[in-house]
Amino acid sequence: MTDELNQPDGVSRFSTTLLAPDVRFSTWKESIGVIFDVTTSPFYSADKFEGRIHSFLLDTLMLSRCRTTPQSFERDKNRFVSDGLDHYVVQYFAEGSQSLFRNGREFGCIAGDVIVYDLADVHHTETGCFENLSMVIPRQKLAPLLRYPDSQQGHILQRDNPATIMLVRHIIALFELCGSGFAGRMQGLDEASIAVSAAAINNSSLDHDQLAAGVQQSVLMQCKLFIEQHLHDQMLNAGLICAAHGLSRTVLYRFFNPWGGVARYIRSRRLRKSCAAICENTFQQMSIGQIAFAYGFTSESHFSRAFKEELGITPSELRRSGANHLLKYQNHTNSGLWGDRSYENWISDLEVFASHER
């Protein structure tokens, strides 16, 4: 256990093995919840649950080996607003199988296949016992290399495709090198790994439904990016977005209906960004009102009411308690019978790492 509690930088080992059976799944659910909402399989007892994640941080991407028992993984549209994760997951299924549900259809993935997930799209999978090897890659690094960057959710790369075989061998080699102590000596291999991933993905054909859905997803992603870039603008509204993208209000409203409308989505993104700013040391010299105005709110009192409604705590309460919450979180993720949970932080920080490389 000592080795797991003193991992070198860029290495994280998380396991439920040493935990009491009755808390294994709840601890797993809390940890993996940084990406997915999970539930146990109705055909598998929760007290028999096992889960392990061994991760490496490789410059601008994260490698993870996951081995666990049956469960379902989900990301609904509300998660996009709350966590803002914008990564691809390129996942090699080493053992076991899973079912992916997309557009009312079920697709099977078995050992040897590679599947691509887009964390900015809805996700629903059900698995048996499995082991997979994954690369988590920021969109800004992989998307420019793809022919259809917004049509990749659930894209299965067949195991008998030569390009898939090349990618699988590359993924396995990365994990073998990292596991042999080379994790800190692999600078620059992230770019090579992203290029190999793009080559394999582009070599695998997409079905018509994926391409059609990708067109809509591409427009939606452009609208979301525009919103993120203009959260500070108090004039940001549906009309401005429509004018920038040549859309009718009817189409725009349909795109954002799952989030309660365009205005609701904009407000939620402003509140989440404000929340992060209040907790960051670099914003400690700014008053609550200044942060509110910086993210497009016109009234501090309106901001505080909306903040409380959305997050269940006032901005002032969050600022007073932020340091204690952060300390507890850091202690929670970096030690314990579960080993090390640093990978949870890496998931959120990948885009920052990628931006700093530019």
Residue spans per domain, the chain: 2-206, 212-327
Beta strands in the chain (DSSP E): 11-15, 37-40, 51-58, 61-68, 71-75, 87-95, 97-102, 105-110, 114-118, 123-127, 130-138, 155-157
Query: Is 0.75 topped by the overall pTM?
Result: no
CATH topology of domain 2-206: Jelly Rolls (2.60.120)
Per CATH, the number for 212-327 is 1.10.10.60
112 backbone φψ class: left, alpha, beta (φ>0; ψ -120 to 50): left
pLDDT score of 179: 78
Give Cα separations from 313 to 278, 279, 305, 310, 324 (angstroms): 12, 13, 9, 8, 15
pLDDT score of 338: 65
pLDDT score of 80: 67
One digit per residue, the tens of pLDDT, for the chain of length 358 reads: 334 434 446 889 999 988 888 899 999 999 999 999 999 888 777 778 999 999 999 888 999 999 999 999 999 877 766 677 889 999 999 999 899 988 778 888 889 999 999 998 889 999 999 999 999 999 989 999 998 888 888 899 988 889 999 999 999 998 988 877 666 667 778 888 999 999 999 988 765 555 455 556 667 778 888 998 899 999 999 999 999 988 888 888 888 887 788 998 899 889 888 887 887 777 778 899 999 999 999 999 999 999 888 878 888 888 877 544 443 434 444 445 566 788 888 887 787 666 555 5
